[in-house]
Structure 1
């Protein structure tokens, strides 16, 4: 026979295996992932308001990382910040494009 005593140490090692923990994870309530508006911030990066675009992208990535760390409220807050900064960036970029076109085409 084996020189190992099949006791609690062997059983506790099996309990910590990934297959044993799936039942515990299923019983936890899954919180839906809040919007991080990554698609909007990527679109805003095509507008010529570069410092503001990058801030929106950073907020969006921070929102995703915050959710992955388990901070759902922080993720929602950072997602809202990313959305509003991206919208501001798009508006400022469109204004820059419009002003540039007006100045360029009104020159004689």
Structure 2
């Protein structure tokens, strides 16, 4: 006697939408790898906005884990979030460097 309901072949993401790729092409066709922007997030770790850099790296790793577990929609969403956070980290890092240089080169030594 089965305790659960019937299992469907169509994968439903966390927000309730149906994965149409799997329903159209079947479960045996592998999906192409998604962008998780790991290289970009590693490069942003050299910017001086450290809490934001680490957050981008975490989103990138979570995107890879979601892809490995079969949650392709979640992986795409987390990959885009990693991209947006790394771009914000680069912009904030450039602002910090600009402000530091402006303060350093405009002060007089007495």
Structure showing greater radius of gyration is 1
Q: State the number of aligned residues.
A: 82
Q: Per the alignment, in what secondary structure is the counterpart of residue 43 of structure 1?
A: helix
Secondary structure of the structure 2 residue equivalent to 1:28: coil
**Aligned-partner SS, 1:29:** coil
2:89 equivalent in structure 1: 89
How much has 1:103 moved relative to structure 2?
Answer: 0.2
TM-score of the superposition, structure 1-length normalised?
0.74
Gaps of 5+ in 1: 1-26
Q: Which runs of 4+ in 1 moved over 6 A?
A: none
Q: CA RMSD in A?
A: 0.9
Aligned to 1:107: 107
| Unmatched 5+ stretches in structure 2 | 1-26
- For normalisation by structure 2, the TM-score amounts to 0.73
